[in-house]
Amino acid sequence: MAKELQKLWEWCGFKFRGKCTDPDVWEYGVDLYEYPNQKEEKIYNYDRPMPEPDLNNLFKYAVPKFGGNINIEFYPRNGKYCCSLTRTKSDEDKTILDSRIEGQDSYAQALFKAIQEVINGK
């Protein structure tokens, strides 16, 4: 899962900066990243570990990478969580993005897996 997370966050614009060498700041040896728009937001002047793939972070960093007009649907099925990502090219009414994931343990995991399919070109 670590490689998939790294691929997702790098696709979102995170830049690997190195390993933590100061255990007073972060856990020693953890990978540190420069966040997208870190300098413009002026929130942090230091690199941080990758964020958790929760709904807040996925909607903040990953979903905007698709541009506008994306349809995201969440739905339960058989006690599990599902997500569908679709986009239709309006002038042709042609589906240009279609990723459907079922049977996940949370909506965040379902969205992460759906985005992962798009990144991997499935």
User: Residue 52 to residues 3, 43, 79, 108, 119: CA-CA distances in angstroms?
Assistant: 13, 18, 24, 10, 18
The answer to whether 47 and 64 have CB atoms below 8 angstroms apart is no
Residue 84 and residue 122 share a domain: yes
Rounded percentage of the chain residues whose pLDDT exceeds 70: 82
pLDDT digits (tens, 9 = 90+) for 34-76: 777 666 555 555 677 788 899 999 999 999 888 777 888 898 8
| Rounded average pLDDT over 86-115 | 78
Residue 67 and residue 26 share a domain: no
User: Residue 117 to residues 15, 18, 78, 83: CA-CA distances in angstroms?
Assistant: 21, 27, 22, 12
Three-class secondary structure of residue 62 per DSSP: helix
Report DSSP state, residue 29.
T
* Joined tokens for residue 118: 């798009």
Q: Which of 10-14, 68-72, 111-115 comes out lowest in average pLDDT?
A: 68-72
pLDDT of 93: 54
User: Residue 45 belongs to what domain range?
Assistant: 1-51
Residue 74 φ then ψ, to 5°: -110, 140
| Rounded average pLDDT over 27-40 | 72
pLDDT of 1: 62
pLDDT of 86: 84
Residue 44 and residue 72 share a domain: no
Residue 74 and residue 32 share a domain: no
Q: pTM of the entire structure? A: 0.79
Nearest to 47 by CA among 2, 9, 1: 9
Residue 65 and residue 43 share a domain: no
The answer to whether 58 and 115 have CB atoms below 8 angstroms apart is yes
